[in-house]
């Protein structure tokens, strides 16, 4: 008798081989050959990513702190919750604290983990950890040398306007929703 406690045996893909395509500063890309349950061989392109954090930082006035950066892959600037890539073996909350300070010049007195999920599991290993940060104090930003960032604070109605106009990314919508914000533009 075969055990299949989660009922996914027919969906599983067994690794056969891996070929490195690219090794970059933040990501590596692989061409994996996998065997399907019926023995069919196929390929999966995989982006290996160390993981990331995203921070919903709210001030005493009920405003969300967002950062605006140019996003080269989509060819425009977006407003986003502060976020960043984890350093190798760095605890997620430590990354979140570092990224909030680097990008916004703020420290938070209280932190709450909201959860962690795969971001784009169809091709990436990246898991994003979401945090809620409050009790903000200004300490001064120190962005990376290749980052140009605007920082703003937005009330819920202003955030809805940004969402409706397509000026945010989905991680921002997800993080705000996890923190209890209504991100629906039809409400």
pLDDT tens for the 187 residues of the chain, in order: 568 889 999 999 999 999 999 999 989 999 999 999 999 999 999 999 999 999 999 999 999 999 999 999 999 999 999 999 999 889 999 999 999 999 999 999 999 999 999 999 999 999 999 999 999 999 977 777 777 899 999 999 999 999 999 999 999 999 999 999 999 988 5
DSSP annotation of 96: H
Whole-prediction pTM: 0.91
Whole-angstrom distance, CA of residue 65 vs CA of residue 81: 7
Distance of CA 162 to the CA centre of its chain: 18
| Structural domains of the chain, with CATH | 14-48 (no CATH), 52-178 (3.90.79.10)
Degrees to nearest 5, angle at CA 11 with 5 and 17? 115
């Amino acid at each position: 008798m075969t055990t299949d406690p989660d009922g996914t045996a027919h969906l599983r893909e067994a690794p056969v081989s891996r070929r490195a395509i690219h090794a970059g500063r933040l990501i590596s890309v692989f061409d994996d050959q996998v065997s399907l349950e019926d023995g069919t061989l196929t390929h999966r392109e995989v982006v290996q990513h160390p993981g990331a954090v995203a921070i919903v930082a709210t001030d005493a006035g009920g405003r969300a702190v967002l950062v605006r950066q140019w996003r080269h892959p989509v060819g425009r600037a977006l407003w986003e919750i502060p976020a960043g890539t984890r350093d190798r073996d760095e605890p997620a909350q430590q990354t979140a604290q570092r990224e909030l300070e680097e990008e916004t010049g703020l420290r938070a007195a209280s932190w709450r983990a909201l959860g962690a999920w795969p971001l784009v599991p169809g091709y990436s290993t990246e898991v994003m950890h979401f945090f809620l940060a409050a009790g903000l104090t200004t300490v001064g930003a120190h962005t990376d040398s290749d980052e140009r960032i605007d920082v703003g604070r937005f009330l819920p109605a202003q955030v809805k306007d940004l969402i409706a106009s397509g000026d945010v990314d989905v991680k921002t919508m997800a993080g705000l929703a996890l923190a209890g914000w209504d991100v629906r533009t039809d409400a």
